[in-house]
Structure 1
């Protein structure tokens, strides 16, 4: 009797002497430990982490009440070890900019553009000057110019490449490519060298990407409509290479990017497809039930189908999460055990974190797990067709509202038409497009001659669905941009969503909307009347400066546009403006027509078509710019703007035609110089004259053809800011220029080191730096 009592007490009283905590406690404790690492500016030493892990194991073994805390500490240590190993695998700093002979396998479908092909190479061997180098992992490469046709997934190549460590731009609201590199295991980035050894040396056996590429090519041969082909390739094998930026804009405006490429949703449909095939077979051959009951046969069939389709999807995190959940349910069914949805979700979370704790760095991790958790919290199983329709409608509202805080946190935008768009699209996609595409894909693998008609019909359906999405993308609220989200506002809004979608019967549920207010209506952060601020955006080799007064905004230059990579106006400048809560642009000035200054301007003008526009080379610009001429001036909110150069009759071209603007008030001045050189600098310095403390945007990124000693001496700036790329191939800023400023005791800040730089110009005080992006957001993965 005493033994039975002890056993009962062990089973029923966790917190006192239970041996194993519930799986939900394990999952949350493990997640908490992994998350604690992500806020660190640097990782603790491996020795300290090992001590913590052993202490946690001992405490958890000795004191059962501390097992939740012990799991938290073990999760912390596990994530630190994995993160440290990933960082140590990166290319050593002292080897950056060197040429390596690398042997590796192309492990993704290459993305081909007009001027370059981008691909990922999993390095197997690396040589530097003939000596082996310890470089293992994924290398992201660009092959400029026409790439050979056999540069394909699963092919093994030997090539000479120039490499550097993964380092991206650092801007408010911008994409964190260094975090992405850590999460994806990218150890170096670079490009294939022209005229050096480049040789295909074989093919990797048993490579899924070759199957994906073959299916993608087959779809192109079956479907005539080019756009429908691109979408079907995404639906069938997760091949999104053909999709243009405009396609993703339409998808985001409808809140349906998860439906465009293979996601967990598609894998779930595939699992049902596999289960239904087994049920149909057992119905056709009833004698099979004598050997194995149909439910026990359906479970492994669903799992096998999910695993196979997940491999075709490229094993993205949402697909892995769904496969793990299906595996939990299938194993429970095979073991004749009942498992709840929350338990399955918790087990999948534990499995993902144990397999790869760095998965928490990916937005898809949070959108997947949080979305499913909210659906489990809010939906109540109802019978019948009406119950299904109601759950479908409620589910879309749950996903739209519940994921809005996370969407704003990761992407700075949300879609308010997403609920309606998903309500229409999900049944159509799940009941028509995806099953038809799955069946066509299966036939393409087994009976290729029968797949063509099905792909054609699927193409018609996709075309009709896309037409509807294009119309809805133009509706008000389709693209709702939010300022930079504070962590506390994210937490409050998520709690508000949980409160809002508690089960029926809980009182005062609508009050959860109040917790969304800090997210939806953040406090205004703009200069007081008579003051202004300037943010030099980190655009690499280029220039973009946002000047903001109390009610107006000027953008001086917009960065570059690289057809094979990205548009800095779209991916750096616009996110920085939206993160600052800027909803309108009054004036765009393109200093001159070089790509690194005006390449991103079209993207800016698409976002703000009503903005006034001018430039120093207006007569040769395709943007319809008004002439920027010395003598022009205006006043915004007590702040004066004066154009100092070029003069009205100037015959200069190129850099020396740059539009130079002086922004000033009683407390300080800002001089925007474009790419002017020494020949015109004396006239600019004379026009600027003396006055309040001056901050100088260093001309021409610190080129040795500018910033003459006389120019620096005449202006006597209190600060110089340089916009240049990390490891600039032009050598900006030039060491001689840096020395000239040092001699004059002028401190220099380089965006390559600091990221975006924000400078305040108070009405009654000298200018001061208020934010360096790399220091403001210090994280262990940041270079």
Structure 2
């Protein structure tokens, strides 16, 4: 059976490499071919069942991918105000200036959808007298929908994959909304009751996360503290918490039942284990419901149920096979779970524990519990290093120590008392509930100052770029787990270390220059890189509600490529170009800036040389603070024999001024002025520049209609190909001698179906 299961999982995994889901016709042809070949050749007949299981896995993966892609909102309803009716399914995320609402769209413009589509909408500056939409209620919204797509850059968070994994089919912003019908569901009512305690509890955000799986009350500082100390897994309902609850219920009920059955006859007739496991399943199912049946909790509940079933039927199966079957059931329940990092973290953690119990003897002697927990935390930290580095951009070195101290506190103090307080709240005893929650937060109050101090220690956080390639880390970990001699393990580790040193030295000697037009949504950010240094032109937008594109895109990109910026140019003071200057300056205070009131002014006639890049400023012709679009700093770069024109947001007026002053605007590459607006890029300007390629830096769902159809038509008439960051993400141009090559590393056409451009 397990062979067949492995074959089905292999076929399922194959579907995540397809550029598009396999159609029914293709699957039928393949299945027919397998059947004919197996019947025709006797040697292949024993493998017919295995091949059939592979085909079943392919059918399951492709079928779910097809259903997700075909539930997307039609293009005619995107990027324009539409009327829609939506049933709210999640607790609304309330922020000071906006609400984030998630639910199932039932109809658009009074037309029922064939399948309800999940949408995540933001309501900016909502009416003060309106109560946030409650989970379980139905609302009528006037909203502007947009495709479920995020920015795509090296080193950045791939939001579009997260949306696919969560099966979210549309994003959008709400203009107005009215309540239609319905009552808040049980979870929403409990959330509302618990919210009354917020002013009374110092650690309310963490307690709310532990009991209801809602992290909206957590501050950014708290989240960063727990992440940089390796404790982020503790502040949301996850597999760990469900396992702890299940284990606690099993122990409690078996103890009570044994105590109740005082006579030997009753002890022999009562099946305490069966009753305790049934109660544990009910309690963990209820706990998963408190978290809204989030993927992590469903995954943990399924795995726990599979283990219980094996024990109930006395199936003597190796733990590795139990894990295999549990993974298969999870994939049946959540077919797109592999696109979520939590799936791989959970599977890797369980596999590590199984491997550790297989390879190492059980610890005995004095302090055996503490020593076993320490070994577990240390092993998990190093085993999860590659995944942590890949998804969280670094590794906290003190994670084993902080987990050794904090995990027992949460396990035996905070979590039980929090859940008991929640139970008292359900029973209507608000005073007792508040008292229990106050007691529950005591250890966290004492630990918080120390955790804040540890999170700010620079040496204890190892950035991902210092740990080396992910594949290399995996190889090193395997060599230490594999039953080799110790000198082979040390040799492999030494080779890996020398490889890191050599690759770092090679990078510093690298003479290739690369121009990266980053995908920063509706804005502009460009990085010119050579070896380990870089020049930045524009810094993306800054949001009034918090955060900016520098934090989200530029800094992760620089860390990913191990780059230190030396110079910075800001074309003008519009937020979508200047928004991240402060953030980048704080990280790199030695940078030298030009333009928009930052550092030196940007004025025509200035020239400079950085490594193999020569730069010249063509506009404006007098000193300004680059406040207006037509005062944008127009920059021309020369890399070898190739020229690049970066005109900022100039309009036709500035384009004509450049031509009138006979500025040397001819270039091989042109970043379209003003993101491709029709206010720029007149035909005679494009003819004078005569680029071989035009590039648009703009947002996929921008409200301005960029790139304008008129601009596209002019480019087409002049036979100038257009590349677009909104269609494929980051654009990279590599220069070598007198040659250059342009490509989009994250373009959907080069990747699997879940990376498709929506």
**TM-score normalised to structure 1 length:** 0.86
2:371 match: 390
From 574, 597, 608, give the equivalent of 1:594. Answer: 574
CA distance in 2, matches of 1:427, 1:145: 42
Contact 2:635–2:646 (8 Å) recurs in 1: yes
1:448 match: 430
Is 1:494 the counterpart of 2:494? The answer is no
1:138 match: 118
2:67 match: 85
Deviation of 1:538 after TM superposition, in Å, equals 0.9
Deviation of 1:119 after TM superposition, in Å, equals 1.3
Distance 1:757 1:521, change over 3 A: farther
1:319 match: 297
Deviation of 1:40 after TM superposition, in Å, equals 1.5
After TM superposition, the structure 1 stretch with the greater mean CA deviation from structure 2, 652-661 or 76-85, is 652-661
Q: Deviations over 1:322-348 (max 9, x none)?
A: 222322332334335555432332221
After TM superposition, the structure 1 stretch with the greater mean CA deviation from structure 2, 434-443 or 214-223, is 214-223
Q: Deviations over 1:556-581 (max 9, x none)?
A: 11111334585322222223333333
Distance 1:156 1:735, change over 3 A: closer
CA distance in 2, matches of 1:435, 1:724: 50
Deviation of 1:46 after TM superposition, in Å, equals 1.7
Q: Deviations over 1:48-105 (max 9, x none)?
A: 2245457779969994555444433321221111111111111123432354443332
CA distance in 1, matches of 2:496, 2:417: 40
Contact 1:138–1:187 (8 Å) recurs in 2: yes
Contact 1:631–1:644 (8 Å) recurs in 2: yes
2:617 match: 643
Contact 1:529–1:637 (8 Å) recurs in 2: no
2:12 match: 34
CA distance in 1, matches of 2:19, 2:467: 20
Distance 1:418 1:648, change over 3 A: farther
2:539 match: 558
Q: Secondary structure at the match of 1:330?
A: helix
CA distance in 2, matches of 1:515, 1:780: 37
Q: Secondary structure at the match of 1:186?
A: coil
Q: Deviations over 1:514-538 (max 9, x none)?
A: 6866996694686977752211011
Gaps of 5+ in 1: 1-19, 619-623
Q: Secondary structure at the match of 2:336?
A: helix
Contact 2:645–2:667 (8 Å) recurs in 1: no
CA distance in 1, matches of 2:502, 2:196: 50
Q: Secondary structure at the match of 1:555?
A: strand
Deviation of 1:452 after TM superposition, in Å, equals 1.2
Is 1:747 the counterpart of 2:716? The answer is no
Is 1:769 the counterpart of 2:742? The answer is yes
Q: Secondary structure at the match of 2:695?
A: strand
Deviation of 1:493 after TM superposition, in Å, equals 3.3
CA distance in 2, matches of 1:438, 1:72: 44
CA distance in 2, matches of 1:372, 1:601: 43
Q: Secondary structure at the match of 2:367?
A: helix
Gaps of 5+ in 2: none
Contact 2:634–2:645 (8 Å) recurs in 1: yes
CA distance in 2, matches of 1:527, 1:754: 29
CA distance in 1, matches of 2:69, 2:516: 31
Is 1:653 the counterpart of 2:627? The answer is yes
CA distance in 2, matches of 1:563, 1:500: 49
From 307, 319, 326, give the equivalent of 1:329. Answer: 307
Is 1:581 the counterpart of 2:562? The answer is yes
Deviation of 1:320 after TM superposition, in Å, equals 2.3
Deviation of 1:757 after TM superposition, in Å, equals 0.6
1:355 match: 333
1:414 match: 395
2:591 match: 611
1:3 match: none
Query: Across the two proteins, how many residue pairs are aligned to each other?
Result: 742
After TM superposition, the structure 1 stretch with the greater mean CA deviation from structure 2, 166-175 or 411-420, is 411-420
CA distance in 1, matches of 2:403, 2:745: 40
Distance 1:581 1:684, change over 3 A: farther
After TM superposition, the structure 1 stretch with the greater mean CA deviation from structure 2, 333-342 or 372-381, is 333-342
Q: Deviations over 1:618-652 (max 9, x none)?
A: 1xxxxx64433444433222322233333444486
Is 1:201 the counterpart of 2:181? The answer is yes
Q: Secondary structure at the match of 1:724?
A: coil
Is 1:113 the counterpart of 2:95? The answer is yes
Q: Deviations over 1:498-529 (max 9, x none)?
A: 33134698884445536866996694686977
CA distance in 1, matches of 2:425, 2:738: 71
Is 1:170 the counterpart of 2:169? The answer is no
Q: Secondary structure at the match of 1:586?
A: strand
* 1:248-287 alignment runs, 5 A limit: 248-287=223-262
Q: Secondary structure at the match of 2:210?
A: helix
Deviation of 1:439 after TM superposition, in Å, equals 2.4
Q: Secondary structure at the match of 2:344?
A: helix
Q: Deviations over 1:304-334 (max 9, x none)?
A: 2222212212323332232223223323343
Distance 1:505 1:277, change over 3 A: farther
After TM superposition, the structure 1 stretch with the greater mean CA deviation from structure 2, 353-362 or 335-344, is 335-344
1:73 match: 55
Deviation of 1:751 after TM superposition, in Å, equals 1.5
Q: Secondary structure at the match of 2:528?
A: strand
After TM superposition, the structure 1 stretch with the greater mean CA deviation from structure 2, 110-119 or 406-415, is 406-415
Contact 2:647–2:672 (8 Å) recurs in 1: yes
Distance 1:411 1:54, change over 3 A: farther
From 116, 134, 159, give the equivalent of 2:141. Answer: 159
Distance 1:645 1:140, change over 3 A: same
Deviation of 1:774 after TM superposition, in Å, equals 0.7
Deviation of 1:283 after TM superposition, in Å, equals 4.9
Contact 2:153–2:557 (8 Å) recurs in 1: yes
From 513, 524, 528, give the equivalent of 1:543. Answer: 524
1:343 match: 321
Contact 2:88–2:138 (8 Å) recurs in 1: yes
The two structures, once aligned, show a CA RMSD in angstroms of 3.3
CA distance in 2, matches of 1:635, 1:612: 13
